[in-house]
Structure 1
Amino acid sequence: MGFIDAALSYPTGLLSALLAVVLVYWLLALVGLADFETDGLEWQADVDAGELSGAAALLVGLGLGGVPFSIAASLVVLLAWTFCCLAAMWVLPTEPGLLMQIGAGTGVLLLALAWGVLLTSRLIRPLRPLFKTHQAQLNADLVGQPCTVLTGSVDEKLGQAEIKQAGASLNVRVWAASPNDFKRGSTARIAEYDAARGRYRIEPV
């Protein structure tokens, strides 16, 4: 069987229609008419499948979470279509009779989808960190954390300190009631956040 015949015949024809939809979707995304990151169907790898419903919960359970739905679905369709098309070219023509070919085609379709899901779950693993949502840290979240004074002194008007964070450090404005013993290199504790002036009050550890 030739490539065109295999792509249009059962069962590959069903996946060919889905693949055409996928191609149109990515063409729209390419010109800016669709956004693959905000299609409303993405989920994160650390979401509990019990908190989802329908197809989303099913696909998360299959290991397809952590990336936008459009990426996972596109990979599944592409991989399943490739498997199904090759089987239609080399395996299905050997089956005698129409009923045998339909039965074998259905089996090939199910096997192609299972293979597509399995391989996709492995391919998207290194992509998950790229789509992980990081919640912005609030100013109040820094209260209670230790910091290191960067300025020569700290008073009611002037002060700067560094707060160690995972992978980075934050330089923030600080103040403290005078008199105090703060100097460059002193360790202090963030006591409260002054939202009106955008600075933190520090106190001795």
Structure 2
Amino acid sequence: MGDFMGAVTGYPTAIYTVLLGVVVIYWVLAVVGMVDFESSGIDVDLQTHADGDTSDMGQIASYVVAFGLNGVPFSVAVSLLVLVAWTLSCLGGEWLLPLVPTMVLKLVAGTVLLVASAAIAIPVTAVAIRPLKGLFVSHTAVSNAALVGQVCRVVTGTVNEKDGRAEVARRGASLNIRVWAPTPNSLKRGSHALILEYDEVAARYLIAAHEDIV
């Protein structure tokens, strides 16, 4: 136990111990609801950075993607990175550094261990977060205007100026929307129609018969 505590509090692991303490405090605050870990991330959309943005945030985002640490909240990636680096440094400080004979060489070896722990922690963390990426997939909601121009299928017996419902095929569950059309029309249950426009006031879509769709 003495060797372990000496490694945890000694150079270079003490640096990672402090960082690990910060991570622990952060997650305690996240558990009690004082911080939102999912919103404490870095947007790693490189489209803006490819256009010549050389800001610090852009550089960090580029490194995150290059090292394979994207796909999860930035706080999760950093927490795992610190934990892995701390573990490697602690093991090295407990098993390897005692074999170094002099204090000067211990400082040199400690510095090498500090850098090596961080370097090895990056690919290890990248592998560790791969199973977690599916838990943090962002789904972008479909806007009302995005449906204009698409084909829908009428699910009510008739469609007139007051009533009507239709379904729009999407990946996963279909969207059931309110529709209307001027009468007379040939729209009936099962008919395919084209969405022409969206009425924001009435929150419904204007549709027209699309007889050529099978």
TM-score (norm 1): 0.91
Q: CA deviation at 1:146?
A: 0.7
Q: How does 1:164-175 map to 2 (within 5 A)?
A: 164-175=169-180
Offset at residue 57 of structure 1 (A): 3.1
Give yes or no for contact 1:43–1:66 (8 Å, CA) kept in 2. Answer: no
Q: Secondary structure at the match of 1:103?
A: helix
Equivalent residues of 1:84, 1:108 under 8 A apart: yes
1:90 aligns with: 95
Secondary structure, aligned partner of 1:65: coil
For the residue of structure 2 that corresponds to 1:165, the secondary structure is: coil
Letter in 1 for 2:42: E
**2:12 equivalent to 1:11:** yes
- The alpha-carbon deviation at position 129 of structure 1 amounts to 3.3
Alignment-derived partner of residue 70 in structure 1: 75
Structure-1 separation of matches of 2:130 and 2:46: 15
Q: Which residue of 2 aligns with 1:27?
A: 28
Gaps of 5+ in 2: none
Quick one: percent identity of the two aligned structures?
47
Aligned position for 2:43: 43
Task: Identify which of 161, 184, 196 aligns with 2:189.
Answer: 184
Give SS of 1:43's match. Answer: coil
Question: 1:43, 1:67 within 8 Å by CA — same for their partners in 2?
Answer: no
Kindly provide the amino acid, as one letter, of the partner of residue 110 in structure 1: V
Q: How many residues align?
A: 203
Kindly state the Cα deviation for residue 203 of structure 1 after the two structures are TM-superposed: 1.0
For the Cα contact (< 8 Å) 1:43–1:65, is it kept in 2?
no
Displacement after TM superposition at 1:188 (Å):
1.0
Q: 2-side partners of 1:32 and 1:56: how far apart?
A: 26
CA distance in 2, matches of 1:35, 1:24: 13
Kindly provide the amino acid, as one letter, of the partner of residue 34 in structure 1. Answer: V
Alignment root-mean-square deviation, CA: 1.8
User: What residue number does 1:149 align with?
Assistant: 154
Counterpart-to-counterpart distance in 1, 2:29 and 2:163: 53
Distance 1:100 1:59 in 2: 33
Measure how far apart 1:63 and its partner are: 1.6
2:129 is matched with 124
Q: 2:46–2:62: 8 Å Cα contact kept in structure 1?
A: no
CA contact (8 A) 2:46 2:58 kept: no
Tell me the residue number matched to 1:134.
139
* 2:153 counterpart SS class: strand
Q: Deviations over 1:120-158 (max 9, x none)?
A: 112222322333333322111100111111011111122
Q: Distance between the aligned counterparts of 2:46 and 2:72, measured in 1? A: 12
Q: Secondary structure at the match of 2:152?
A: strand
Aligned counterpart for 1:79 among listed residues 84, 104, 120: 84
